[in-house]
Structure 1
Amino acid sequence: MRALVAAAVGLAAALALVLALTAVGSPPGETSPKPLLTTVPGPKK
C-alpha cells in the first residue's frame, strides 16, 4: 500500500512540474540556422 501511495505522490509531483513548465512558456530567442554536427568529421581528402 505504501508503494502505491509513493507512486501516486511521485506521479502528482511530476504532473505538477510539467504543468508549471507549460504555464511559464518557452524562453524568448531564436534557434540557430546552422546544423549541428552529429558525427566526428573524418580526414579531409
Structure 2
Amino acid sequence: MRALIAAAIGLAAALALVLTITAIGVPTGKTSPKPLMTTVPQHP
C-alpha cells in the first residue's frame, strides 16, 4: 500500500512539474547556424 501511495505522489509531482513548465513557456532563443562536428576530421 505504501508503494502505491508513493507512486501516486511521484506521479502527481511529475505532472505538477510538467504543468508548471508549460505555464512558464519555452524560453526564447535561436539555434546556432554553425553545424556540429559529428566526426573527427581526417588529416591528409
TM-score category by the smaller chain? Answer: 0.7 to 0.9
**Percent identity of equivalent pairs:** 68
CA RMSD of aligned residues (A): 1.3
Partner amino acid for 2:13? Answer: A
- CA shift at 1:7, angstroms? 0.2
TM-score relative to the length of structure 1: 0.79
What whole-Å deviation, never above 9, does each CA across 1:3-38 have from its counterpart, x for those lacking one? 000000000000100110011111121111222223
TM-score (norm 2): 0.80
Tell me which residue corresponds to 1:28.
28
Taking the aligned partners of 1:42 and 1:8, their CA distance within structure 2 comes to 50
**Structure 1 moving runs of 4+ over 3 Å:** none
**Alignment coverage as a number of residue pairs:** 44
Structure 1 residue 42: Cα displacement: 4.2
Partner in structure 1 of residue 12 of structure 2: 12
1:33 & 1:42 partners in 2: Cα distance? 20
